[in-house]
Amino acid sequence: MIHRGFIGCLILAAMGVAGFGQAPQAGQQNPQGAVLAGQQAPQTANPGQFSNSVRPDYTLGSNDQILIRVPQSDEINERPFRVDSDGFINVPVVGRIRASGLTVQELEADLAMRLREFIREPLVSITVTQFRSEPVFVTGAFRVPGIYTLQGRRTLVEILTAAGGLGPNASHRIRVSRRAEYGSIELPNAVEDPEKKMSTVEISLESLTQNINPEEDIVLQPFDVVNVDRAERVYVVGEVAKVAPIELAERASISVAQALTEAGGFTQYATRDRVRVLRPILGTNRRAEIEVDLKRVFEGKDIDFPLLANDVLFVPRSSGRAVLVPLGTTFLGSIPYIIVTALLR
> Would you give the distance in Å from CA 261 to the centre of its chain?
30
CATH tag for 65-130 (out of 3.30.1950.10, 3.75.10.10, 3.30.200.20, 3.40.50.1360): 3.30.1950.10
| Range list for CATH 3.10.560.10 in the chain | 6-21+31-44+133-230, 233-339
Maximum Cα interatomic distance, the chain, rounded to a whole number of Å? 97
pLDDT per position as a tens digit, 250-279: 677 888 888 888 888 888 888 877 888 888
Taking 90 as the threshold, does the pLDDT of residue 73 lie above it? yes
Q: What is the DSSP letter of 204?
A: E
Q: CA gyration radius for the chain? A: 28
Burial class (CB in 10 A: 0-12, 13-18, 19+), 253: middle
**Residue 299 CB neighbours (<10 A):** 9
Q: Under CATH, domain 6-21+31-44+133-230 is a member of which superfamily?
A: Outer membrane lipoprotein wza domain like (3.10.560.10)
Q: Which residues pair with 35 in a beta bridge?
A: none
Q: Single out the residue of 207, 197, 223, 67 nearest to residue 138, CA to CA.
A: 223
Q: What is the pLDDT of residue 18?
A: 33
Question: Mean pLDDT over residues 43-58, rounded?
Answer: 48
| Residue 261, number of CB atoms within 10 A of its CB | 12
Is the distance from CB of 314 to CB of 304 less than 8 angstroms? no
Handedness of CA 108, 111, 116, 118 (dihedral sign): negative
For residue 123, is pLDDT > 90?
A: yes
Q: How far is CA 280 from the centre of its chain?
A: 27
Taking alpha carbons only, the member of 265, 209, 270 closest to residue 13 is 209
Parts of the chain belonging to CATH 3.30.1950.10: 65-130
- Residue 54 — very low, low, confident or very high, per pLDDT cuts 50/70/90? low
pLDDT category at 75 given cuts 50, 70, 90 is: very high
CATH number attached to the domain at 233-339:
3.10.560.10
In angstroms, rounded to a whole number, what is the distance separating the alpha carbons of residues 342 and 292? 7
Q: Highest mean pLDDT range out of 172-181, 199-208, 230-239, 271-280?
A: 172-181
Q: Average pLDDT for residues 186-198, to the nearest whole number?
A: 91
Q: Would the pTM count as exceeding 0.75?
A: no
